[in-house]
Chain A
Amino acid sequence: MKSNATVAVSYSELARQGIHALRGLGYSFSVAERAAHTLAATEAATGLGLKCLLSSAPQIEAAMAKAMTVATPAPGVTHIDAGGKSLLELSPFLLDVASADAERLGRSAVLADNLDGMPFVADLALRAAAQGRRLLVFYAGGTALPAAPAIFRVENGQIHGGAVDARPFWPKVTHGLEGSSLSAIVPVLQAPAVEERGRLLIVAGTEDAHVSREMPERDAHRAEPTWQAADAWKPAFDRAIQSQIDTEPAGFDFFYQCVRRIWAPTSERSRAQQG
């Protein structure tokens, strides 16, 4: 039901119609199919999926034509310049790379720079938890709804962590990786990064290199912004599956505007055939 304040939406509706909405934004079916789940899961976990779609649609469309660059400075270490693309689009693909390398080599690091749409990181965590992955994620920045520096850990299907006060954030992360089997990522992390454009690092595998596994619990204690409280993502997601998501009308209306972009008129000739 639609009240003045919120609209009741189901996860299934967002995941199903999300494919149309994201095709309406310009994604291929393949990308839209995965991103629709990213959108729905993020809305369920943080309440920010549709808002982020609304606020970052221009950036999403602008970045669509831009190429990513992918470098592998060492086995199991991947550095991506996302070219301003959104985590809405890249979340499952980044997790795939980290997971594949971790399965093959025991551990992996994937660093994505110049990445937008940070709230969609909740989907990455939920996917990793559902797949039984073990990983640490560090992230900060982005333009639309930028993220505070934050850490979360996924292990045994659970997600823990949140935003941190500690600064400097990336040097501290870098320090944790020095001397580890993933040290090939250290020079990349040390290079000047434009943090506000968004950076995300996944450390995945059966061991966490020298990065302290206690970091999320130890360092993540900021109360704000609340959407980055990673411990809350999975319970919120589960609640949404069992009941519903109450979302803001503006984001929901924009979502269906995108859906309608791909609706096509039926030609007389086509109509005559269908009966």
Chain B
Amino acid sequence: MRAEASGTADAALLERLPPEICTTLEAWLGNARAQSILASLRDPAEIMTPDALAAVKPSSLSIIHTLLRRMTANRWDISRRSIAVDEIGNGHAVYDLHAEGHDFSLIVRANWDGEEKPGRRMDRSVDFFLSMVSGLADDALINRELAGLGIPYFGGRTDSKSFGWSAANRSQRSFQAVVDTLASGGMPDIDELTRNGGYILRNAGFYGNGRAGAANWLSIPSSAHPFSESYHMDLFLLYMWREIGLDFAEAIASRRAGKPCPLDPQLRRYLGVGNSSGLGMTCALVRWPQWVGTWCLMREIALAYALTHPCRESDETKLAEKVARAVQFYTETPGPAHGLTAHPVIAADLAVVADKLEAWRHGDPASRDWRGFYESLLPAIGRDALEQVVSFLIDLHPDFVERLSALISGRMRRSRSVVPAMTLGTLKRLLMRDYRWALDIDMQSQDSTWHFWYHSEEAGEQRRGERHIDSHAEYETFVDVIRPVQACFAALNAASEDDNVGHFLLTRPDLAYIVSRIQFLEQEPYGEVRGNLIARSFAPIKLIRFLLSVFGFESGLPKSAAWVQGVLLQGAPTPDEIRAGRLRDWRMPLRSNWGSNWDMAT
């Protein structure tokens, strides 16, 4: 699929932009530059479809990158206090974190029963469990958490001393290979590890924000706290699983060999942490439109800033280097076999980008501008490659990205509520302005309402059923936005425009959710995924892939239409590097550079 329209903001989009964002841009950059940026934003109709969102690629705005920048800039100090493990892998460990004047402990328990786990929330057991607590844990708290750690659905509970529990499972083939090789005095085969995903431990979920009695997310201050940014704690724990998995592998091997068996530091750095993402991620994107709206708005502003920035040779050189590396990365890294764009296709398109960039750089400097370059790509490459270029353009401006990143958490923390004094006439105008796309979808056919989303007893989270086959459609969740919008529109057509929302909802309480959503997104142009998520044709992997990119996953392997496996943090800085304040450009680590100048290249 070729990329489409370039996007220059029309009046309707400008009207919907959050005023505080416009004011902030003006304060940062002056009125003329701010207006130029705002006028360059892409049309939500162009970029908020599932197909378009599936193509989004990680950038320096992605959460793992904002986290690692913060960790490095503030020299977070991660240390292992203790580790005790037997030859099989049963044991425990305690890690301490000193970050920005705060102390935390991570209490880890490992159990190995010989069986590889699928990693679902309703699995009866996991291979690794940890509790992250505030302050440096004493023996009493360590022992309490070690004894209490258990799957919440089966009775495991903690209290507000813990920020939450995280679980992980072995990727048994790789984990065992690393342990066996180390114990016998060798070093694991990187090619074999790469073929098996590039990790030895797979994330199995975070039970935070109050789950199982843990502390509320709201108890963390919105600033001046190492975990004040949304999802930083979740991804920090992923970072720690990477370290914990490798530490346990070394410890088990050492126990067997009776001597220290350290992994090659380069190999430690190359390995990441695995992750399986399913349908629950799709639901989260609908449930929290302020997250989607914020992530996408910041990305679009960052792109518009880059496109309106003067050309500099240094930027052009950096972009050429990034594109060249990406061609190599997509060539050598396993990618989707179905459902998403294959890596060879992206690599081929990026090779076209490299050629066009080279030709463009040799053109007349006076007539060169980034918008012109971007627009020249539109007819030539697919959406995935275009979004990869978008990410690279954003990355050329780290200072601006840093400023934008600081706006994200506050916007994500906002909550939706009814605005009761709004007249129904105003509400109807908002609905017609912002949800025309939803009103235009025919929801009468069987295929358009084929699926329903429900809370699965087996999976412990949301799943999709087939409306005409499966039971429990009466407990359908909130994922379908289109039919409530259409129902609201019909109800508003039958009501007086002078009435207010408060009185309207008293008689139509079933519409409170969609009314508050319409009101909340009045100035959130990128908040809504513009697609029918209950249609027979909808493939959830598209939205799962989008959210993984927001987190920072560079590749993902779809296992079905609703399940994506990925690896995160390959090449990421080690705790020693973070403690020393050293942040390499670790994106897109290249296997082909291993053994030569891999360290420099990544």
Contact = CB atoms under 8 A, between A and B. Distances in A.
A34 B418 CA distance: 10
A116 to B, nearest CB: 16
Interface string B449-472: 000001111110001111001111
B210 A16 contact: yes
Interface size class of B (residues with CB under 8 A): 35 or more
B157 A7 contact: yes
A274 B421 contact: no
B54 to A, nearest CB: 17
Contact of A20 (B144, B215, B455, B505): B455
Interface stretch (A47-55, A98-106, A173-181): A98-106
Contact of B456 (A28, A68, A103, A266): A266
A97 B158 CA distance: 40
Interface in B63-118: none
A76 to B, nearest CB: 11
A96 B471 contact: no
A100 B466 contact: no
B12 to A, nearest CB: 27
A262 B218 contact: no
A70 B505 CA distance: 12
Contacts of B505: 93, 96
A273 B478 contact: no
B512 A10 contact: no
Given A266-B459, A275-B560, A243 B513 contact: no
B210 A13 contact: yes
Interface in A71-109: 78, 80, 89, 92-101, 103-104
A244 B454 contact: no
Interface of B is mostly: mixed
A264 interface: yes
Interface in B486-520: 500-503, 505-507, 509-514
Interface in B316-341: none
Contact of B216 (A12, A92, A131, A262): A12
Given A31-B512, A97-B503, A242-B219, A263 B213 contact: no
Contact of A263 (B157, B457, B514): B457
A96 B506 contact: yes
Interface size class of A (residues with CB under 8 A): 35 or more
Contacts of B503: 70, 78, 97, 100
Nearest to B476: A29
B563 A274 contact: yes
Contact of A269 (B466, B507, B511): B466
A269 B514 contact: no
A267 B469 contact: yes
Interface in A5-38: 7-13, 16, 20, 23, 28-31, 33-34
A33 B513 contact: yes
A241 interface: yes
- Centre residue among A13, A31, A131, A242 by max chain B CB count within 10 A: A13
A30 B511 contact: yes
A274 B464 contact: yes
Given A13-B211, A97-B502, A270-B470, A265 B458 contact: yes
B601 interface: no
A92 B458 contact: no
A275 B459 CA distance: 11
A210 interface: no
Interface in B156-204: 157-160
A12 B455 contact: no
B345 interface: no
A68 B507 CA distance: 8
B465 A270 contact: yes
Contact of B560 (A10, A29, A273): A273
A104 B500 contact: yes
B513 A30 contact: yes
Contact of A271 (B458, B502, B509): B458
B581 interface: no
B344 interface: no
Interface string A234-275: 000000011110000000000000001011111101110111
A31 to B, nearest CB: 5
Contacts of A80: 506
Nearest to A80: B506
Contact of A1 (B148, B477, B562): B148
A95 B512 CA distance: 13
A213 interface: no
Contact of B469 (A8, A131, A269): A269
A29 B478 CA distance: 7
Contacts of A66: none
B338 to A, nearest CB: 12
A273 B561 contact: yes
Interface string B547-578: 00000000000011111000000000000000
Contact of B477 (A12, A29, A30, A100): A29
Interface string B524-537: 00000000000000
A98 to B, nearest CB: 8
A274 B500 CA distance: 43
Contacts of A100: 420-421, 500-503
Contacts of B455: 20, 262-264
B502 A10 contact: no
A172 interface: no
Contacts of B562: 273-275
B154 interface: no
> Which 9 pairs of residues, A with B, have the shortest CB-CB distance?
A12-B210, A275-B560, A10-B210, A100-B502, A264-B472, A275-B563, A96-B420, A8-B159, A96-B502
Interface of B: 144, 148, 157-160, 209-219, 278-279, 417-418, 420-421, 454-459, 463-466, 469-472, 475, 477-478, 500-503, 505-507, 509-514, 559-563
Given A99-B502, A100-B500, A264-B457, 6 more contacts: A1-B148, A92-B512, A262-B455, A263-B456, A264-B465, A274-B464
23 contacts: A1-B144, A1-B159, A7-B157, A8-B158, A30-B513, A30-B514, A31-B510, A93-B502, A96-B420, A104-B500, A241-B219, A243-B160, A244-B160, A264-B454, A264-B457, A264-B465, A264-B471, A265-B456, A267-B469, A267-B470, A269-B469, A269-B470, A270-B464
